[in-house]
Amino acid sequence: MTATANSDSMAATPPAPFAAAENVCTVVSNHPVNARYNHLVLAAPPTALTARPGQFFHLLCEGVPGDPAFLRRPMSVYRLRPADGADGASGIVEFLYKVVGAGTRAMARLEPGGSFNILGPLGQGFHLDPGWRHVVIVARGVGLATLAPLADMCRRAGVGIGAILSAQSPELIMAEDVMEAVGAEVVRVTDTEGTSTVANVERLVRGRIAEGRADALFTCGSNRLLMLLQKIARQEGIPGQVALEQQMACGLGMCVCCVRQVRRGGQTLDLRVCREGPVFELEEPVSW
Amino acid sequence: MTATANSDSMAATPPAPFAAAENVCTVVSNHPVNARYNHLVLAAPPTALTARPGQFFHLLCEGVPGDPAFLRRPMSVYRLRPADGADGASGIVEFLYKVVGAGTRAMARLEPGGSFNILGPLGQGFHLDPGWRHVVIVARGVGLATLAPLADMCRRAGVGIGAILSAQSPELIMAEDVMEAVGAEVVRVTDTEGTSTVANVERLVRGRIAEGRADALFTCGSNRLLMLLQKIARQEGIPGQVALEQQMACGLGMCVCCVRQVRRGGQTLDLRVCREGPVFELEEPVSW
Amino acid sequence: MVDLSVQLGGLTLANPIMPASGTFSPDIADVIDPNRLGALVTKSTTLGFRAGNPTPRVSETADGMLNSIGLPSQGIDAFIGEVIPKYRRFTPPLVASVSADTPDEFVTICEKVSIPAVDAIEVNISCPNLEEGGRAYAMRAESTLSVMRRVRACSDKPLWAKLTPNTGEIANVARAAEEGGADALVVANTVLAMAIDTETRRPRLGNVMGGLSGPAIKPIVVGMVYQSAKAVGIPVIGCGGIMGTDDVVEYMLAGAAAVQVGTKTFLNPTAMLTIIEELEALCAAKGINSVSEFTGAVVVEPEEEGLPLFA
Amino acid sequence: MVDLSVQLGGLTLANPIMPASGTFSPDIADVIDPNRLGALVTKSTTLGFRAGNPTPRVSETADGMLNSIGLPSQGIDAFIGEVIPKYRRFTPPLVASVSADTPDEFVTICEKVSIPAVDAIEVNISCPNLEEGGRAYAMRAESTLSVMRRVRACSDKPLWAKLTPNTGEIANVARAAEEGGADALVVANTVLAMAIDTETRRPRLGNVMGGLSGPAIKPIVVGMVYQSAKAVGIPVIGCGGIMGTDDVVEYMLAGAAAVQVGTKTFLNPTAMLTIIEELEALCAAKGINSVSEFTGAVVVEPEEEGLPLFA
Ligand SMILES: Cc1cc2nc3c(=O)[nH]c(=O)nc-3n(C[C@H](O)[C@H](O)[C@H](O)COP(=O)(O)OP(=O)(O)OC[C@H]3O[C@@H](n4cnc5c(N)ncnc54)[C@H](O)[C@@H]3O)c2cc1C
Ligand SMILES: Cc1cc2nc3c(=O)[nH]c(=O)nc-3n(C[C@H](O)[C@H](O)[C@H](O)COP(=O)(O)OP(=O)(O)OC[C@H]3O[C@@H](n4cnc5c(N)ncnc54)[C@H](O)[C@@H]3O)c2cc1C
Ligand SMILES: Cc1cc2nc3c(=O)[nH]c(=O)nc-3n(C[C@H](O)[C@H](O)[C@H](O)COP(=O)(O)O)c2cc1C
Ligand SMILES: Cc1cc2nc3c(=O)[nH]c(=O)nc-3n(C[C@H](O)[C@H](O)[C@H](O)COP(=O)(O)O)c2cc1C
Ligand code: FES
Ligand code: FES
């Protein structure tokens, strides 16, 4: 019998060869880091630990009656750590998130010991060219969460980092410790201090280029900064990558709802942020 | 302006003259009393305290994702107590309930300190004729919850009670203490002991009648027992009352979903269990 | 000072919030003061006595409920003699909802109900027309036009046509109702649906099929209000799945001049009053002088509107 | 030993669980083994290139979601050259879903897609027919009959007609599809709907209107499956709001021979496999030898079935 053979031979949870899984994690901690952002730490099974910087998970945020969340919510992996041997999980996956709506409100309600289903890892992560010695990271808002693991990746590859972290106000700058821990030179710019203008960021980036310490540019979290970096990269002939956002349903490439216009191979294509992205070459996205 | 006048002069929570209200109660305790029934104790605002035996509340059972309850659930008031002065509430309302589906599962999840919205009191309660000296109460299953406050009502009216409490097995007999506390003579009959047969209950009821201690018969919780008591009442010319159940939506008499066929004034009518009931004269319901 | 009043085909309502037919009765006065509502709408009455459907008459679904009450009714004479007086203890405009098996019956019942105590007639043309094999009048433009014309000819009361969502041509039906003489449209009644208990293998409703209401259907009906309001010049009253103030604003943006609240009243009989208060507070907070400013104010660039080619 | 296999208009499926068009692609092989599914169904393809609709293309609602993807497609040649081979890495029967703006286009695309790699064609007649002003073919019996006849004449593949729920006459449409030569019916596509963001006052979908799917619509579609299955002799495939095994049994009791799972896969890509396992366990526990025993086994006494006179 086909059917019997099926369920005898395989379990619903996919075995090792699957690239992604519905990882059922255990909440280790879930705290605010400042007035706007929370930090979620999960004990996760092995598949989740294979995530690379720039990849994301699709989170099953269960709302409550009166504040329901129906679809999953995409979230970049902020940090990954192998197990410290203390518990059964194979390691730790962390997210840094901003509470904006029903899904993130549901996340904010997660309590230690609770379980949380995170589908992934998904999408294309950042990649480093073996020739690069110094990169510049320009992050704003929640983009900091996405770019933090890239800093760690650079450190391990022996690549120097100049990080320009932009936020509305100084207390909203995050991941600075993560960046500095891996030896990044961090510059903070903020709206309240008047330092986060496009002009000032341009000055900072061009300064690194002038010093010969900008083999590649990375960005996430601001369309304004994306346009700036696209312009500089084009003028200076410097490569780079950007992590994009888009509303998602499936997160796996099936529903084609998450497209962004991208220039690739001389064409303008609608590519899926969840599958061909979220990381694209800096010059590719049609920004607006 | 009409509108402004409206909201200036009145609040959404109705003032005293309203017979029923969405009473927002605080959970005091919520425990199993045996393998099948739970006991919920609520600190309640004044309107709830006006409930009479046989009346019910319509409970806003908020499910959880994956186990939702959409409509309210009707539940007879099991006990009422005025405030002991310990907290701000005006008194205590109690329910005895069986966990059968999503709504009662949501009730079982209520934790002390949580809030619970109970609409009521609703419907017609039991009434005692001033001439009655002795009544017989025949209750089965959850019907025990509905008839328990009647026993207290009888005590205060100086009416003697013979209570026949029927259940599947001895450990599922409930409210026996409540009955005995008010001086009822309690007989327990159960399926496992073989004592709950219609024939045996008939023998017990007819015994009380022969002793002249059955001025009225009350029942709830079993259609089989309803038919038996209807037969005895008809044959012996004894009055009585029965509390009926029916699926409900509004609980207030608006949706006409909760009808049961009732003989009244020479006609067979569809009456609303929530409004004309849940308590009907014993001979009225068309039983089947 | 926010003006919550709305104009509805000849009637002025103190606010745009009223109950949906069949989900309201004077019994609610046990819990709230009905005088604060924009209007009162009766359960649909029929010409003669109707027993209604077998129980169970309701069942719950994902974010919604099914009902198959079956229009139980004591008939129009008892309605006028006993039911109307109970409603007339209250001050808001009274809307009498009527249903009928045939166009002839609709004429008779509308004539009978055109009494001074009634301020408007809601013609429930979502009910089955026995002359069309039980298909609801409002499923097609032709039958909508002909029944509304007949009713229009026999009554001077403001006529509200209550449409059904069980049609693929809501805009045509809406236009037909307007052409037939309706002063306003109520969009919409319940969505035909069914549920089966897999344990007993029996339908969850005694009548097998029933009508779906509640938040589950809101996006369907908001879409129909949008299409109807674009198609007609008369006011549209939105009805389907309203749970709170934000839903009211959504319906009004889509084109509704007022709304009816049904299922939510079963969950919270106080909800309509809460919504009226919140609506006023919301307008005040946003500097909106008149709630009517919401009506039809959805921002749609013409080029955005593609064919309904979803998927 | 439970027999989960089902017969579907010429095809035998190992089990009755398959994905719904547009909610599935070979990409799912990252998470589950597609070989365990009863069949594979492609996203609807069109004859030529289509860009699809502007974003946002999805939005969530009460127990459901709206989509207006807009059938983006590389066209039939890329579909055959590039998409089909990706599906053919897997063993279950392959169902190619096709959409077209006109009946002529439907004929061309069905001819082109009638290749050995394709085991059945799902004709998505829920999409707008430009020759009828954008009304979906399956909204009316006449247009359903004529387009299915034309397609039938040009292909020997098993043809599944995918019906729309946006009609008041599903039974007539179902009969027309059968008469036109369909080997099976898929009931149904998404329900036309809309949502507005009250803050921005803009529609939540770039295309303004979209299609509602998910548990919210299940009772609507279960009712349509019941009506369709009574109307036709060919198998009906139920599709709409299936979240778990109990929903599958409910659809089968209503008359479905098999089911398609859409939105749930977005929430849990493993769900279809879980359902297959649970369905087998359920049959075993109940002593049911063949899952097909569920099909049409709802218990309805003839006298219970009133008119759809709900309310
Ligand atoms: C690949 C990727 C990685 C992301 N990583 C992070 C991260 O590390 N930390 C973080 O805080 N956020 C991240 N986001 C954004 C995050 O997904 C959204 O903030 C979240 O889904 C909002 O859900 P909600 O239910 O709280 O808000 P909703 O109520 O759904 O929406 C609130 C507002 O946010 C907008 N929004 C909702 N979903 C998205 C989305 N997917 N993309 C853009 N805008 C959206 C809505 O249009 C609305 O205006 C990421 C998004 C993507 C696509
Ligand atoms: C006036 C009244 C007083 C009641 N008092 C009590 C009480 O004191 N204690 C108690 O435990 N129960 C009482 N009930 C029954 C109680 O309302 C139901 O058990 C409850 O609504 C079931 O909800 P659920 O979501 O747990 O189950 P569901 O999942 O809704 O249903 C489980 C099963 O119970 C049946 N059912 C559901 N609602 C009702 C109903 N209203 N009447 C009859 N059957 C129903 C369903 O058909 C189904 O078979 C009373 C009912 C009424 C009408
Ligand atoms: C129990 C019930 C009874 C109803 N009875 C009627 C009726 O008699 N006449 C009518 O036109 N609509 C009737 N309706 C439909 C409602 O008026 C309303 O159109 C529908 O419920 C959608 O609104 P909601 O989602 O807010 O409930 C009834 C609905 C319910 C739930
Ligand atoms: C994002 C999305 C895309 C869809 N694309 C198609 C499609 O291309 N062709 C089609 O026939 N149906 C399409 N559908 C409809 C589904 O196949 C299915 O009929 C509908 O979603 C109802 O099932 P569900 O409630 O299980 O999702 C799509 C649905 C969704 C949610
Ligand atoms: S979210 Fe479904 S394709 Fe990207
Ligand atoms: S429950 Fe609505 S009338 Fe009784």
* Residue C28 DSSP SS3: helix
CA C274 from centre of chain: 20
Per residue in D158-194, pLDDT (tens digit) is: 999 999 999 999 999 999 999 999 999 999 999 999 9
C195, D219: Cβ pair inside 8 Å? yes
- Angle C166-C169-C175 from CA coordinates, rounded to 5°: 115
Element (H, E) at C142: helix C141-154
Using 50, 70 and 90 to split pLDDT, how confident is the model at A176? Answer: confident
Q: Is B205 buried (19+), middle (13-18) or exposed (0-12) by CB count in 10 A?
A: buried
Per residue in C42-69, pLDDT (tens digit) is: 999 999 999 999 999 999 999 999 999 9
B68, A66: Cβ pair inside 8 Å? no
* Residue C173 token pair: 């039906």
* Residue A15 token pair: 């075995």
Per residue in A87-120, pLDDT (tens digit) is: 556 899 999 999 999 999 999 999 999 999 999 9
- Residue D305 CA to residue C203 CA, distance in Å, equals 10
pLDDT along chain B (288 residues), means of 10: 33 63 97 91 95 97 91 96 69 95 96 97 97 95 90 93 92 79 89 94 96 96 94 96 97 97 94 97 89
Pairing of strands D196-197, D202-203: antiparallel
Find all residues with CB under 8 Å of D303, minimum gap 6, and list them.
none
Interchain CB contact of B46 with C (< 8 Å): no
Which pLDDT does position D171 carry in this prediction?
97
Which pLDDT does position B10 carry in this prediction?
37
Nearest residue of chain C to residue B16 (CA atoms): C31
* One-letter identity of residue A83: A
Average pLDDT of every residue of chain C: 95
Nearest residue of chain A to residue D279 (CA atoms): A3
The DSSP code for C98 is E
- Residue A15 CA to residue A51 CA, distance in Å, equals 17
Q: What do you get for the CA distance between the two ends of chain C, in Å? A: 45
Cβ proximity of C67 and C210 under 8 Å: yes
Give the ligand at the shortest distance from the Cα of D72: 4
The DSSP code for D3 is B
Residue range C120-146: mean pLDDT, rounded: 92
pTM above 0.90, yes or no: yes
D68, C195: Cβ pair inside 8 Å? no
Cβ proximity of B247 and B259 under 8 Å: no
Which pLDDT does position B14 carry in this prediction?
44
Using 50, 70 and 90 to split pLDDT, how confident is the model at D117? Answer: very high
Which residues of chain C does B4 touch, with a Cβ-Cβ cutoff of 8 Å? 1-2, 280
Strands (E), chain C: 6-8, 11-13, 17-19, 40-41, 58-61, 64-67, 94-98, 120-124, 128-129, 135-136, 159-163, 184-187, 191-194, 196-197, 202-203, 209-213, 236-239, 256-261
User: From the CA of D303, how many Å to the nearest CA of chain A?
Assistant: 39
pLDDT score of D310 more than 50 = no
User: Which atom of ligand 3 has the smallest separation from the CA of C264?
Assistant: 26
φ/ψ region of B233 (left if φ > 0, alpha if ψ in -120 to 50, else beta) reads alpha
* Residue D33 DSSP SS3: coil
D170-179 vs D218-231: helix axis angle to the nearest 10? 50
Which pLDDT does position B89 carry in this prediction?
66
- Angle B115-B117-B123 from CA coordinates, rounded to 5°: 145
B259, C55: Cβ pair inside 8 Å? yes
Interchain CB contact of A246 with D (< 8 Å): yes
Cβ proximity of A220 and A146 under 8 Å: yes
Size of interface A-D (CB pairs under 8 A): 135
Find all residues with CB under 8 Å of C199, minimum gap 6, and list them.
none
Mutate to test the pocket of ligand 5, among A255, A269, A270 (most ligand atoms within 8 A of CB): A255
| Strand ranges of the sheet holding A216-220, from the earlier edge strand across to the other edge | A185-190, A160-167, A134-140, A216-220, A240-243, A279-281
Q: Look at B141-145, B261-265, C33-37, D88-92 and tell me which has the smallest mean pLDDT.
A: B141-145
- Closest by CA to D231, choosing from D144, D309, D102, is D144
Which pLDDT does position C105 carry in this prediction?
96
pLDDT score of A158 more than 70 = yes
* Residue C94 DSSP SS3: strand
Interchain CB contact of B255 with C (< 8 Å): yes
| DSSP state string for A100-111 | -SHHHHHHHT--
Interchain CB contact of C63 with D (< 8 Å): yes
pLDDT score of A192 more than 60 = yes
pLDDT score of D55 more than 50 = yes
Alpha helices in chain B (DSSP H): 2-9, 46-49, 102-108, 143-156, 176-181, 198-210, 223-236
Strand-pairing partners, residue D61, are D64
Nearest residue of chain A to residue D268 (CA atoms): A22
- Of D15, D31, D58, Cβ closest to residue A252: D31
Pairing of strands D209-213, B79-82: unpaired
Domain ranges of chain B: 21-122, 134-281
Average pLDDT of every residue of chain A: 90
Pairing of strands A56-59, A115-122: antiparallel
Which pLDDT does position B170 carry in this prediction?
87
Which residues of chain A does B62 touch, with a Cβ-Cβ cutoff of 8 Å? 65-66
Which residues of chain C does D218 touch, with a Cβ-Cβ cutoff of 8 Å? 61-62, 195
Q: Look at A2-6, C123-127, D12-16 and tell me which has the smallest mean pLDDT.
A: A2-6
Which residues of chain D does A270 touch, with a Cβ-Cβ cutoff of 8 Å? 51-52, 72
Strands (E), chain B: 21-32, 37-44, 56-59, 73-76, 79-82, 91-98, 115-122, 134-140, 160-167, 185-190, 216-220, 240-243, 259-264, 267-272, 279-281
- Closest by CA to A71, choosing from A247, A275, A258, is A247
Catalytic-role residue among C127, C154, C239, C283:
C127
Which pLDDT does position B3 carry in this prediction?
32
Task: Set out the domains of chain C in order of their start, with CATH numbers.
Answer: 6-305 (3.20.20.70)
Residue with tokens 């073996």: A130
ipTM of the complex: 0.94
Q: Is the CB of D263 under 6 A from ligand 4?
A: yes
What residue's CA is closest to ligand 1, atom 11? A97
**What CATH number does the domain located at B21-122 have?**
2.40.30.10
Cβ proximity of C167 and C174 under 8 Å: no
- Of C168, C297, C304, Cβ closest to residue D139: C168
Which residues of chain D does A256 touch, with a Cβ-Cβ cutoff of 8 Å? 22, 43, 52, 57, 69, 72
Strand-pairing partners, residue C122, are C97, C160
Q: Is the CB of A100 under 6 A from ligand 1?
A: yes
* One-letter identity of residue D240: G
D198, C53: Cβ pair inside 8 Å? no
Cβ proximity of B125 and B55 under 8 Å: yes
- Residue D138 CA to residue D170 CA, distance in Å, equals 9
Q: What do you get for the CA distance between the two ends of chain D, in Å? A: 45
- Closest by CA to C265, choosing from C26, C23, C94, C63, is C23
- Of C31, C58, C65, Cβ closest to residue B18: C31
Interchain CB contact of D212 with C (< 8 Å): yes
The DSSP code for C37 is S
User: From the CA of C228, how many Å to the nearest CA of chain D?
Assistant: 13
- Taking CA atoms, D59 is separated from B21, C249, D62, in Å, by 36, 18, 10
CA-based radius of gyration for chain B: 20
Residue C91: phi, psi to the nearest 5? -90, -25
Q: Is the CB of A55 under 6 A from ligand 1?
A: no
Strand-pairing partners, residue B115, are B26
User: From the CA of A66, how many Å to the nearest CA of chain B?
Assistant: 9
Using 50, 70 and 90 to split pLDDT, how confident is the model at C129? Answer: confident
- Residue B23 CA to residue B25 CA, distance in Å, equals 6
What's A134-281's CATH class? alpha beta
Using 50, 70 and 90 to split pLDDT, how confident is the model at A178? Answer: confident
Per residue in A10-51, pLDDT (tens digit) is: 334 444 479 999 999 999 999 999 888 999 999 999 999 999
